[in-house]
Amino acid sequence: MNPTSSPKSQKSLAEFALAEVNTLLESPSTAQLGHSLAYWKEQLAGIPERLELPTDRPRPAMQTFVAELCHVGLSKELTAGLKRVSQENQATLYMTLLSGLAVLLSRYSGQDDIVVGSPIANRQDAQLEEMIGFFVNTLVMRVRVQPRESFRELLGQVRRTALEAYQHQDVPFERLVEELSPERSLNTTPVFQVIFALQNAPWEPQQLKGLQVEPVRGDERQVRFDLEVHAFEQGGEIGILWLYNRDLFDGWRMEQLARQYVRRCRRRLLQSCLNSKWREHRKPWRWCLKIST
């Protein structure tokens, strides 16, 4: 906490929670909330009822949460290349990875309208930056995958979608679901069934004065959606955890999906090499060839 700030100027967790409750109960006619709700209603109008990924078993009548996990990694060279593609397109690494995931989900589902959930820290208020507490909200990213569209064009679309979503992140996801009023089912989540997150902030073990802190894991893995894709950056590489509902998917299918994602990241990077100004320089060409091997 900033030592120069007055304790009275700091917003408490209770005050934040009260503000969230008020937002849930607030009338849509309120200027700021009404503007954001109008954006989301237009942005998500006509979204598909469900992402139809191929499953290995029929979907149970009631949603289940038992999970399994598979892991793949992107090499340092591939990670560096994806960062360079992101910078060239004024995008973030998150946007580039999400674009690749949308293409993969489109191919496996046969759908061109892909809807993915994405958590956001929800600490845009400076008074919340150093406060201990859970503030996370969930944003909805809608990506329309067009077969004839280049990856750069798709990345541009994802960039615009993400930036607009950040501008309207003040609407709690629960309120958004209430306003959209999608058809509900006991065996699936509303709005989206896949979530994607990138953790690229430096990770350090938790340290509290006089205490030893270590993570505690449950006896059984749990998943909140059909599929959760969690990417994290460490040591110049990107690791990706695919947490999936084992009542829907077999391990071989998720391993195949994960490997295909890596291949597609590599392929998109090579296409960027061919279509960008890098081809004017010998060194990037050699670097691209290294990625392909």
pLDDT of residue 147: 85
pTM of the model: 0.83
Q: Quick check: is 1 in a domain? A: no
Q: Say if 186 falls within a structural domain.
A: yes
- pLDDT band at residue 127 under the 50/70/90 scheme: low
Residue 271 CB neighbour total at 10 angstroms: 15
Helices 151-167 and 93-109 cross at an angle (nearest 10°) of 110
Whether 212 maps to a domain, the answer reads: no
- For 41, the domain range is 11-201+221-292
Please report the pLDDT score of residue 12 as a whole number: 64
Total domains present in the chain: 1
Is 51 a member of any domain?
yes
Residue 142 located in a structural domain: yes
pLDDT of residue 134: 57
Does any domain span residue 2? Answer: no
Helices (H), 63-203: 76-88, 93-109, 151-167, 173-180
Top pLDDT among 186 and 17 is at: 186
- If you average pLDDT over every residue of the chain, what do you get? 84
In a domain, 137, yes or no: yes
pLDDT of residue 287: 44
Name which residue leads in pLDDT, 110 or 218: 110
129 pLDDT more than 80: no
Q: Are 159 and 96 in contact (CB under 8 A)?
A: no
pLDDT at 154 over 80: yes
pLDDT grade for 284, boundaries at 50, 70 and 90: very low
The tokens describing 32, both together, are 């700021």
3-state SS class at 115: strand
What CATH number is given to the structural domain containing 249? Answer: 3.30.559.30
Burial class (CB in 10 A: 0-12, 13-18, 19+), 264: middle
pLDDT category of residue 283 using cuts at 50, 70 and 90: very low
pLDDT in tens, 23-44: 555 555 566 788 899 999 999 9
CA–CA dist 276, 111 (Å, integer): 29
Instruction: Summarize pLDDT for 182-221 with one digit per residue, the tens.
Output: 999 999 999 999 999 999 776 667 777 888 887 777 777 8
Other CB atoms within a 10 A radius of the CB of residue 222 amount to: 11
Asked whether residue 96 carries a pLDDT value surpassing 90, the answer given is: yes
For residue 209, being part of any structural domain is answered with no
